Structure 1
Amino acid sequence: MSKSIVTLITVMLLFNCSTAQKVAEVQAINKEEVKASMIKALEWQEAHPIFAISPTDWTEGAYYTGVARAHKTTKDMIYMAALKNQGYWNNWQTYKRLHHADDVAISYSYLYIDMNGGRKNFVDLEPTKNFLDAHLYEDDVWKAGNKKNDMGQTILWWWCDALFMAPPVLNLYAKHTKQPKYLDEMHKFYMQTYNQLYDKEEQLFARDMRFVWEGNDNPTKEPNGKKVFWSRGNGWVIAGLALILDDMPADYEHRPFYEQLFKELSETMLKIQPEDGLWRTSLLCPESYDHGEVSGSGFHTFALAWGINNGLIDKKHTPAVLKAWNAIKACQHDDGRVGWVQDIGAFPEPASADSWQNFGTGAFLLAGSEILNLE
């Protein structure tokens, strides 16, 4: 073998080893730094309250779900203090639209406090019970199929975001109160949404019926001709699945459906993850807004890390999840604010370094809570 070839091979080996080391350095996680970044995010958000409608609305529900999961992992009482404070000042109320899934999302935090707060009779779950009973059992025009429009409001949970808002609450309420009927009702309505919005070919959820091609004479399309699949919308679904599976009984008869759906969505998200680790707001047309977005990416990262931690995703995908976390962390400002969060919406739109929302902070805390559990 010639000296030049040997030299070339040696250089190539050194390059590959060096590259692998650099990749490993990029992907390595310092758990104390993760904890510190999570607390900074919490402290900044608590000092800069924001909500779309009310302190009990869905944005706060998503944020405080992230706070609850951060406490579950770290046991740091700063999170429990924030949870108890908001619950107390909210007087444990939900929001007022009894047949809208968004308005009970806040109850996830109330249930978590009641189960883990260490003080009996501190939480009043009566407003949550009243909401859930009305939501599930009272007649409504949507449930009766009488409210027809292009978004498909003929079922209870007619938009995919709803699968994060109400199902984890119902599942946790069933577990906490030992009333499986609430879990069965959750499954019934979940299947309606799945059957209406899940695209089995792409293994993704349409946000609502405007983006479903089957039976639609004029479906909404991306500029590249592909179907519209919104990152945060699918983030709501996959993160909601992780929350549901975390509390669902291991022997529940319909659990295999949720595990299989989780695996399908996870497979898709891993397959289409961009090289820099952050998913774009439009999953199948990333060039529309070619920058990463943190709320959707945070929910995806939480779910994928949870899947690895719970044996539903192969550990070989850990580097992809760590890459996502590092990319998310790079979007946090020095003061703790989490940037690059798409504003409130219903389809892919751009974000910026300075765009933030409380639910983006919630997604950040959710992701960090499971990153900390990775081995």
Structure 2
Amino acid sequence: MKKLLSFLLLTLFAASLTAQNTNKFFKSNHIKRTMNKAAYWQLKNPKHELYDWTNGAFYAGVFAAWETTGKKRLWNAMIDMGEANEWKPGPRLQHADDHAICQTYIDLYRVEKDQKMIEPFRKTVDEMIATPYKTGEIRPITWWWCDALFMAPPALVKLGVTLDEPKYLEFSDKLFRETYDLLFDKEENLYARDMMYQTNWKEPKTEANGEKIFWSRGNGWVMGGLVRVLDELPADYENRAFYEDQFLKMAERIKSLQQDDGLWRASLLDPKSYPGGEASGSGFFTYALAWGVNNGLLEKSEYQPVVEKAWIGLNGLIQPDGHVGWTQPIGADPRANFTNDSWEVYGTGAFLLAGSEVIKMDW
């Protein structure tokens, strides 16, 4: 009996310590410190051209971290980035990847009111609207891959809202709906990465367990893009319901695919083939679900526990030096291997975006 009592007391004590250790992750000071640590490490370890899509995701997170922590160092880093880029998008006129960085330009413009920060992007979009897109076999539309829905729509919608120019919102609506019609699987409520990952493609691809291939990061970027669009659109915008409906359906599906450690695997429907929790997809899902709770689109009692588990899991990916480990490298599907030493700037961006919403929740 004494042994049983001792075991129960030890179990309760261990559970108490675990609760104490995880509770710290939700304290405001801890969230800010961790966000700054991750951002500072990444700024010291740059990668890719500053206008690149990877940095588009990173600096979106840096702006969110600056809003959250108010650190001047983060603000200066964004201004330096914009100046180095001459406030231009990437060189490809119609490629969504080259528009992602412009999200941060517009966010900075809203504070500074300096026209040079947005004028190059406005001119690019006007030229893009006037220039027909050249299609191909797997590129029948402008935004033919699902990640594009994070890259370009938030930038276009931010531009339209900022300048009170409906044409930019309408253009984004048109291209977004084309991607939805092409890639959204209404049975799974998930996006295929591109046409080659659909079951009706001439050479169908499946996971080892026979399931369809749905990439965690690709769907994470879609959900991140959806909430960044929804965060901008007026409540009475005529097409807002289109985006809300997608977000709600995807949120429910993503919730069902969360693993025991709170994270999501590189392949959403075959987690056993990719056992490690992946930082960038998990970070974007956490960001999107937390935003949904904070903005009243998702039921708090149902989704806040999902966010809680996810945020604890994400904190476990932060390495002692501050870098966000377990980030899958650049690719187009779940197959690329990654470890605790694997990092990419977009993994940090996703973590910073997640923290910026988690800190707003009522813990």
Name the stretch that deviates more: 194-203 or 120-129.
120-129
Residue equivalent to 1:297: 282
Residue equivalent to 1:72: 67
Percent identity between matched residues is 45
Q: Normalising by the residue count of structure 2, what TM-score does the alignment of the two structures yield?
A: 0.93
Superposition RMSD on alpha carbons, in Å? 2.1
Residue equivalent to 1:360: 347
Q: Normalising by the residue count of structure 1, what TM-score does the alignment of the two structures yield?
A: 0.90
Separation (CA, whole Å) in 2 of partners of 1:25 and 1:256: 41
List alignment gaps of at least 5 residues for structure 1: none
Residue equivalent to 1:331: 317
Q: Is 1:310–2:295 an aligned residue pair?
A: yes
Provide the secondary structure at the position in 2 that maps to 1:298. helix
Deviation at 1:76, TM superposition (A): 3.1
76, 88, 92: which one aligns with 1:97: 92
Deviation at 1:21, TM superposition (A): 5.6
Separation (CA, whole Å) in 1 of partners of 2:46 and 2:169: 33
Contact 1:161–1:237 at 8 Å: present in 2 too? yes
Report matched runs for 1:227-266 at 5 Å. Answer: 227-266=212-251
Provide the secondary structure at the position in 2 that maps to 1:247. coil
Change (3 A) 1:26 1:180: farther
50, 68, 77: which one aligns with 1:82: 77
Residue equivalent to 2:179: 193
Report matched runs for 1:183-222 at 5 Å. Answer: 183-213=169-199, 215-222=200-207
Aligned length: 356
Q: Which amino acid aligns with 2:133?
A: D
Q: Is 1:115–2:101 an aligned residue pair?
A: no
10, 33, 36: which one aligns with 1:36: 33
Change (3 A) 1:73 1:233: same
User: Any idea what the Cα deviations from partners look like across 1:82-118, whole Å, max 9, x if unmatched?
Assistant: 21111111111111111110001110010000002xx
Provide the secondary structure at the position in 1 that maps to 2:117. coil
Q: Which amino acid aligns with 1:137?
A: A
Provide the secondary structure at the position in 1 that maps to 2:168. helix
Separation (CA, whole Å) in 2 of partners of 1:73 and 1:106: 20
Contact 2:38–2:323 at 8 Å: present in 1 too? yes
Deviation at 1:128, TM superposition (A): 0.5
Residue equivalent to 1:176: 162
Separation (CA, whole Å) in 2 of partners of 1:64 and 1:120: 19
347, 359, 366: which one aligns with 2:333: 347
User: Any idea what the Cα deviations from partners look like across 1:184-229, whole Å, max 9, x if unmatched?
Assistant: 111111000001100011110000001111x334311001000000
Contact 2:106–2:117 at 8 Å: present in 1 too? no
User: Any idea what the Cα deviations from partners look like across 1:229-256, whole Å, max 9, x if unmatched?
Assistant: 0000000000111111001111101101
Separation (CA, whole Å) in 1 of partners of 2:207 and 2:315: 29
Q: Which amino acid aligns with 1:193?
A: T
Contact 1:73–1:370 at 8 Å: present in 2 too? no
